[in-house]
Amino acid sequence: MQAPDVSVIIPCFNTKACIATAIDSALEQKGHAVEVIVVDDGSTDGTYIEVQDRYGNEPRVKLIRLARNMGPSAARNAALDAATGVWIGLLDSDDWWLPNRLSHLLEQSETADFIADNIMGYDATAKTQTGAIYLDRETGPLTFSDFVRARREGEHDLGYLQPLIRRSFLEENGIRYNESIRAGEDLLLNLQILLSGARVLYVKEPLYVYALPVGPLSKVASPHSRSSADTTALLSALRQLRTDMEDRMSPEELEALDRRIEDFDQMAPIGAFHRAKAKRDFVAMLRLVATSRIVRKRILRRLLGSEN
């Protein structure tokens, strides 16, 4: 049997309400054969049954169930192990692809190992697309420094990209997700891919629709958001990446990575404050306000209405 053009991997955790939209958007791609690998990461809301009932007779859908919640990196690795496609397509379970995404991106397949497009923001509460999230980048190659360059406050960095990746490149270079990381896992994988010599291409058209953690129109958090994710493990992994692959980086790339690590480190108290807020841990919140200048600054800006 001929391998599909693309293995679309969809990790999911308690996304029963929206998972079908993601799966259907992959199955409805025209001009390219796909297999869709859904990995249920220990859902408790009936997501597994929903997928099984809807797609049990669809031969292009593979459904894998993890016995317990292990995080997006482990779920994606399980999908990668089951994939047979020429390309790997990354799709989160609360997002979806526009119908012509594969046909447009794979026009570039002869010149790239990694193809990513711009991302269309989506306010899940307002049910409205809010525009492309990258406004200043044209179609062309991407570099290591592009991915680690710190953005201005409120901007999205390139770690949000959800690319097509040549499966043979991942296999030949032994690249998999770091399963200790539950936030920022895409950024780390992308950096590994770049340092392994991949040809990386960006396409400016937004063909991937992304449910924003907080809707810019509704000002309400997406019901499937991981907005209070802890980046502590990512910081550790980035430092380890620097140590392990320093010989593959130019002085400019090392400097850019060091600045990004410093930026993550400085922003860590903000993440800790949001996690404490989600848990209603008011003691921890007060402690962070007392000890962290950046937390106090962020709160003041919100009070003055100068930050969305």
What is the chain's mean pLDDT, rounded?
89
Instruction: Supply angle C-alpha 175, 180, 182, rounded to 5.
Output: 95
| CA distance readout (Å), 269 to 66, 213, 236, 274, 292 | 32, 19, 16, 9, 7
pLDDT band at 118 (very low <50, low <70, confident <90, very high): very high
- CATH numeric code, 6-211: 3.90.550.10
Determine how many CB atoms are found less than 10 A away from the CB of residue 197.
11
Question: Is the separation of the CB atoms in 257 and 249 below 8 Å?
Answer: yes
Identify the H or E element spanning 98: none
- The residue with greater pLDDT, 226 or 29, is 29
- Residue 31: closest CA among 85, 93, 106, 88: 106
Side-chain half-sphere exposure of 3, counting CA atoms within 13 A: 13
- Residue 226: closest CA among 183, 189, 269: 183
- Is residue 268 scored above 90 in pLDDT? no
CA distance 301 to 298: 5
CA distance 217 to 137: 24
DSSP 280-292: T-HHHHHHHHHH-
Question: Is the separation of the CB atoms in 7 and 35 below 8 Å?
Answer: yes
- Is residue 308 scored above 50 in pLDDT? no
What number is the average pLDDT over the span 255-279? 78
Phi, psi (degrees; rounded to nearest 5) at 205: -70, 130
Query: How does pLDDT run across 87-103, given as a tens digit for each residue?
Result: 999 999 999 999 999 99
Query: How does pLDDT run across 140-197, given as a tens digit for each residue?
Result: 999 999 998 866 555 567 888 999 999 999 999 999 999 999 888 999 999 999 999 9
As given in the structure block, the two tokens for residue 58 are 């669809």
As given in the structure block, the two tokens for residue 74 are 């482990």
For residue 144, the model assigns a pLDDT of 93
pLDDT band at 242 (very low <50, low <70, confident <90, very high): very high
At 218, is the secondary structure helix, strand, or coil?
A: coil
- Is residue 133 scored above 80 in pLDDT? yes
For residue 159, the model assigns a pLDDT of 84
The residue extents of the domains of the chain are 6-211, 250-303
Measured between alpha carbons, how far apart are the two ends of the chain, in Å? 51
For residue 237, the model assigns a pLDDT of 94
Query: How does pLDDT run across 281-299, given as a tens digit for each residue?
Result: 887 778 878 877 777 777 7
For residue 306, the model assigns a pLDDT of 55
Q: By mean pLDDT, which of 45-54, 87-96, 214-223 is the weakest? A: 214-223
Side-chain half-sphere exposure of 202, counting CA atoms within 13 A: 21
Question: Is the separation of the CB atoms in 86 and 94 below 8 Å?
Answer: no
CA distance 155 to 135: 10
pLDDT band at 229 (very low <50, low <70, confident <90, very high): low
For residue 285, the model assigns a pLDDT of 79
For residue 263, the model assigns a pLDDT of 82
- Residue 204: closest CA among 122, 97, 104, 124: 104
